[in-house]
Homo-oligomer: A and B are copies of this chain.
Amino acid sequence: MVSIITAGFTIAVGSIAPALGEGRALAQALLAIAQQPDESPTITRTLFVGLAMIESTAIYCFVVALIIMFANPFWDFVAGG
């Protein structure tokens, strides 16, 4: 039963940092566009590549949460025990 708590905890805690990091990067990107409108395509492209990289840590947590809930190897052990 503890895996429910763990899954919720994992996805909840694991989404704090990416959201903060992305918010910071996004805020700075808008400031950068306002300072150098001519570099807008370069900034936007770098921003989205970087956001995807940060998002990947959130996805790691999401994957682990799903593994814990649906496909953890202890399931068969518990079911059979």
Contact with B along A19-50 (1 / 0, CB 8 A): 11111111111111111111110111011111
Interface of A is mostly: helix
Within the complex, which residue of B10, B18, B29, B60 is in contact with A62, where a contact is CB–CB below 8 Å? B60
Hey, which chain B residues are within 8 Å of A4, CB to CB? 2-3, 6, 68, 72, 74
Q: How far is the CB of A21 from chain B (nearest CB, A)?
A: 2
**4 tightest A-B contacts by CB?**
A21-B23, A27-B28, A17-B19, A32-B34
Interface residues in chain A, defined as those with a beta carbon under 8 Å from any beta carbon in chain B: 1-40, 42-44, 46-51, 53-58, 60-62, 64-65, 67-70, 72-74, 77, 79
